[in-house]
Each structure stands twice: as C-alpha cells, then as structure tokens.
Chains A and B, each alone.
Chain A
C-alpha cells in the first residue's frame, strides 16, 4: 500500500518537474528571496530563480527522473517502498540545486543528494560490495563537500552576499576569488568524480541500475557541471581556477577512458565513461568562452539522454540475464541468443553506444563536435590550455569509440573467427563449458521497462538537432576519423577473439591500493592506537582507582567484629582523643 503510494507520488513528482520546465520555458528570468535573516551585515536566506539554465536542467532532470521512475516499477517491484521515496527525494534535491539562487539553499540540495546517493547505492544492503561502495561514495563526496562549504564561506564573505545572482567578481578581491573558487572546485571534483576523487563512481555500481542512470545522467554528477555553469562569471574571473579545472579535466578524461577500455563489466565501463564524459564537459567549461559553456551544457543534455539510456539497458541485461559481467553475457552470446532474445534492448543500446562514441548523426556526435570546435577556436587564439584540451578531447574521442565498440561487439556478437570457440572471455570463465545456460527462458523485459528505453533512444538521436545544426565540416570529418581510428583496433581484436588488457589498466592505475596504503591503513593504525590508549592507559587508571577502593574496603571490613563493646571502646577512645586535642588547641 505504502509502496503503491510512493510509486504514484514518485512518477507524478517527476511529471510535475517536467511540467514546470514546460511552463517556465520562454518566460522572463525571475528571482525571489524568502525567509531572510540578518546576521551582522550579512543576509542569509533562501532564494530561487528561473532562467534558461534552470529551465534546461529542470527539463533534463524531469525527463530522466520520469523514465527512471517508470522503469523502476518493472525493475524493482518487490523491493521496499523506501526505494521510490528516496529516488523522489533525490530528484527533489537536484531540483533544489537547480532552482536555488542562494548558496546555502544550494548547499542543502547538494548535501541531500549526497545522503540519497549513499542510501540508494546501498539499496541492496545485504550485499557487501553494495555496502562498502555506498560508504566509499559517501566518504569521498563528503571530503569534497568540506571544500565546498568553506568555498561558500570564503566567496560569500568576500562578496558580502550569499545570493548567486549578486555575486559580482569585480567586487571580490582576486586572492579571495581564487581561494573561494578553488574550494568550490574541490566540492565539484568530489561530486562529479574527477581525479583525484574519482574512485567512488565505479564502485557505486552495485546499486540498482535505474539509480545509476539517475546519478549519472541527471543528478549528482551533473550537479558539478551545473554549478560551474551557474557561477560561470565567478569562475571565469579566476584564471588559476580554470587552469586547474582544465588540468583536472584532461587528466580525468584520459584516465577514465583508459580504465573503461579494460573494465570487465558493462556497468563499470559505463561508469568510467561517465567520468570521462563529465571531464569533457569540464574541459569545455575551462576554456572561458561562451562557446565552451554552451558546448558543455549541450553535451550535458545529450549525455543525460544517452547515458541514462545505456544504464537502463544495462539494467535490462542485469534483470533478464542476472549479471552484466562480460563473462556471463558471453555464455549467452556464444550461443547467439542474447541479441535475438533482447531485440529492443539491443537496438536501443546500439543507439546509446553510437551516441556515446560520437558516430555521425547521433546526438553525442554533435555535442562532442561542439566541444572540439570550442577548444579549437580557443587554441587557435594561442592559448596553451586550449591546445591541451583539444589534444585530450581528441584522444578521448578515439578511446571512447574503442571501448564502445569493444563493449558492443563482445556483448552482442559471436566472434566469427572462433565460431563459438574459446575467446578471450571464455578463456577467463571457468564455468564456460560446464554451465550450459538455459537460453530458452531468455526474453526481453516488459514494456514498462522498454518504453523509457525507446523514449531515451529517440532523445539520443533527436537531441543533437534541436540546437540547430552548426556543423563545422572539417571538425566533423576529423572527429569521424577519430571514431574510426578508435573503432578499428577494437574490431580487429574482437575478430581475433583477443582482449588484451594491460595489467595497469585492469587495476585502474593502482589508485585504490595507493589510497588504501596512504589513507586507510594509517587511519586504521591510528584508530588502533587510540583504542589501545583508551583501553590500556586511561582504562588502566580507572580500574586501578576502583580496585584500590575495593582493597581498602577489604581491610576496613575486618573492623566490623559484631562485638558492641569493641565499637564502644573505639568511640570512647575517639572522644577522649578529640577532647585532648580540643584542650591542646584551646590552651
């Protein structure tokens, strides 16, 4: 009963968000403040605003949330009602971030999202990896949020206001501006899983797939990009911050793309690709041009469509096959069943991957080209940052095509050369020949789950054209060439049934073990030391005091002989002694 109520509430809330976006579309930008309180010379309160950016993000959040909520009806119909309630809260928190005009109001939404993502990633609480992934996500985003909070303080105090629309970079001294934006950047890096706080996003994969779709497409990680776009004037005023952002983004996009090309699970590939694509948006933002900002937001929208689509497809694979690991999927593919049984999923996932890889004609192609074009124009003006971004984006485009094709071919197609023989993943799978999967029961998901897929697949194509096609043919050709360049090695490797995975990539550059050695182990040691100090030193004193009391009382107990006359004697002696003492003192 409660679950039904929450399902209805969740779907209708998302629809209301979409409706708001539709109603606000084209209206003049407006803002309102309420519940203000005066603290010294500062005004702290809530404020909301509506402008183009708000409407755009509201539409994205609303559509993705509707898809996810509807999809979840089929995906998680036997799980507790808290799931739908949390997804709704998650969406609402993102809406708060999007509409708020007060830094503190924004912080509330920002933190509620962190809490919701923790609870939703740990939704399958009975699984150990889900629990530890949730804790990891929470701790790493919290680490970033500390920087975010102090960034708000620094900027707000420096500018004398906490209203985003009134933050005027010209009125803030450069030092304060740089410090404040760098601190905000720490929060953004944590929330959007950029280097060096990137490891939580791939480890959040044990969460339910619709939640992953929501986190990766519309909320949480997109909040970082949104924040920089929202406060673009402030960020653009600090060259240092944008340079740092560019470096972080370039390192992240290559790092994540390399990790994605060695990952062994569909969802993990997608998670790393999200990190990489977000870095693409950040690199566009770091160019400090209006084109760059526009390209970043364009990519945010198209990415929301195709990444939401891909995660929902991965959810269908998980739901119907029971696993999204390449090894397990290959057992079905080897017998040629997967593609035929899951026809709709196959087609929509192909569209999603094509869009992600940037195949001409799909939405991702146009938005990626917009970023490359913005970077090229910036680089042509003689900017080093522009050149770095341009080279990294091009490399990332090729790598993206590589891992998309690798994923697509290995998951859905029999290797022709081997004709069902032993390929790379079968060689890893000890159960490949022993375990004959029951392919007869494999069929596509219910239409409740497929409808959002179809809707998002249409979005993953059409969204590229809504902005009007401003294609620079030279750049379009280059990026197509890059896609082919990335796709060919993947194809030839797959044809030979080989999947060479360098150890360093498979271990994701050893970042996790390094963090473990650097932070986790020392903290554990310190904790043990603290426990030992508490138990053995402080506790020693406490129990020694107790034992002394007991020992002394053991001695005093012997005085209680039960003989009245002994007591009286003691009393008389005491009285006499007191009298003598009084006499001595008195004289």
Chain B
C-alpha cells in the first residue's frame, strides 16, 4: 500500500479535529475533536513505521504512548467539563469567559 493513502487519511482526520476544536461550542465535542487529532497523529506514526521498517518498531511504541496519554488527557478533560457544568450549569466553551480582561480606564 502506498504511503500516501494513510497520510491523506491522517490529514483529513486532523483537519476535522482542528475544525471541531475551533468551531464547535460544546466542550465534550471539543474533547472528542482533540481525540481525533491525536489519532491522526497515531495514524501517521504507524504508517511511517510500516514504511521505514527499522526493526525497532519505534513508531508503534510511540503510538502506544500517545494512546496512553490520550486516555489520561480525556480523564482530566472530562473532569474539567464536569466542574464547568457543576459551577455554570452548561458545557458551552463560548460562554465560559471567566478569564476575560475587564475593561478599565485607569491608565497608570
């Protein structure tokens, strides 16, 4: 199988992920989009590993690492989303603007 096909698939997946992160408002969707991006990276790793065949399977090892990290990240992310829901009553990323810079005219 030519290398280009899995890479194209990875690009498509990554772009969908980026779009989801930037454009969707639901925090859970955001997390899912992160997962998409991570998996696109995984696909890249595995594809290059199969292409290079270096005998150490570096790409596959790294992919397993990324999967582990993704699991940890989604645990943390869901906890944050849960807290957001508890305190604000919604999971809307757009509306969670607690860190906005307040307008103040006192120029020092």
A residues at B contact (CB < 8 Å): 550-551, 554, 557-558, 560-565, 568-569, 572
* Contact status B22-A565, CB under 8 Å: yes
Q: Report if A550-B99 is in contact (Cβ < 8 Å); known contacts: A568-B22, A569-B22.
A: no
Output the least CB separation between A571 and chain B (Å). 10
* Contact flags B6-28 to A (C-beta < 8 A → 1, else 0): 00000000000010011100000
Say if the beta carbon of B86 comes within 8 Å of chain A: no
Residue-wise, chain B 79-108 has the 8 Å CB interface mask toward A (1 for contact) of 000000000000001101111110000011
The closest CB in chain A to the CB of B98 belongs to A562
- Given that A550-B107, A550-B108, A554-B107 are known contacts, is A561 also in contact with B97, CB under 8 Å in the complex? yes
Question: Complex: how many Å from CA A131 to CA B21?
Answer: 78
CA distance A37 to B108 in the complex (A): 58
User: Which 9 residue pairs spanning A and B have beta carbons closest together?
Assistant: A562-B100, A562-B97, A560-B101, A562-B99, A557-B101, A569-B22, A550-B107, A565-B22, A561-B100
Q: In this complex, which of A551, A558, A561, A565 has the most chain B Cβ atoms within 10 angstroms of its Cβ?
A: A565
- Contact between A560 and B107 (Cβ–Cβ < 8 Å)? no
Q: Is the interface of B mostly helix, strand, loop or mixed?
A: loop
Within the complex, the shortest CB–CB distance from B15 to chain A, in Å, comes to 11
Q: Please tell me which one of the listed residues A560, A565, A568, A572 contacts residue B100 in the complex, with CB atoms under 8 A apart.
A: A560
Q: Do A565 and B97 touch across chains, with their CB atoms under 8 A apart?
A: no
Contacts of B23 in A (CB 8 A): 565
Q: How large is the interface on B (under 10, 10 to 19, 20 to 34, 35 or more residues)?
A: 10 to 19
Say yes or no: B101 contacts A563, CB within 8 Å: no
On chain B, the residues within 8 Å of A550 by CB distance are 107-108
Which residue on A lies nearest to B23, using beta carbons? A565
Cross-chain pairs A/B with CB under 8 angstroms, 30 sampled: A550-B107, A550-B108, A554-B107, A557-B101, A558-B101, A560-B99, A560-B100, A560-B101, A561-B97, A561-B100, A561-B101, A562-B96, A562-B97, A562-B98, A562-B99, A563-B93, A563-B94, A563-B97, A563-B100, A564-B93, A564-B96, A565-B21, A565-B22, A565-B93, A565-B94, A568-B21, A568-B22, A569-B22, A572-B18, A572-B22
Whether the pair A562, B101 counts as a contact (CB closer than 8 A) is yes
Report the bound CA distance from A424 to B107 in whole Å. 70
Which residues from chain B contact A560 at a C-beta distance below 8 Å? 99-101
Q: How far is the CB of A568 from chain B (nearest CB, A)?
A: 6
Taking the nearest CB of chain A, how far is it from the CB of B43, in angstroms? Answer: 19
CA distance A506 to B41 in the complex (A): 103
**Chain A neighbourhood of B21, CB < 8 A:** 565, 568
Bound complex: CA A485 to CA B42 (Å): 124
| Residue ID in chain B nearest A553 by CB atoms | B107
Which residues of chain A are near B97, meaning CB under 8 Å? Answer: 561-563
Q: A550-B107, A562-B99, A568-B21 are in contact. List 16 more A-B contacts (CB 8 A).
A: A550-B108, A551-B107, A557-B101, A558-B101, A560-B99, A560-B101, A561-B97, A561-B100, A561-B101, A562-B100, A562-B101, A563-B93, A564-B93, A565-B22, A565-B93, A568-B22
Chain A nearest CB, measured from B94 CB (Å): 6
Contacts of A563 in B (CB 8 A): 93-94, 97, 100
Q: Which residues of A contact B100 (CB under 8 A)?
A: 560-563
CB neighbours (8 Å) of A557 from chain B are 101
The complex places the Cα of A551 from the Cα of B108 at a distance, in Å, of: 10
Q: Which residues of A contact B101 (CB under 8 A)?
A: 557-558, 560-562
User: Which residue of chain A lies nearest to B21 when distances are taken between CB atoms in the complex?
Assistant: A568
B108 to chain A, nearest CB (A): 6
Task: Report B-chain residues with C-beta under 8 Å of the C-beta of A558.
Answer: 101
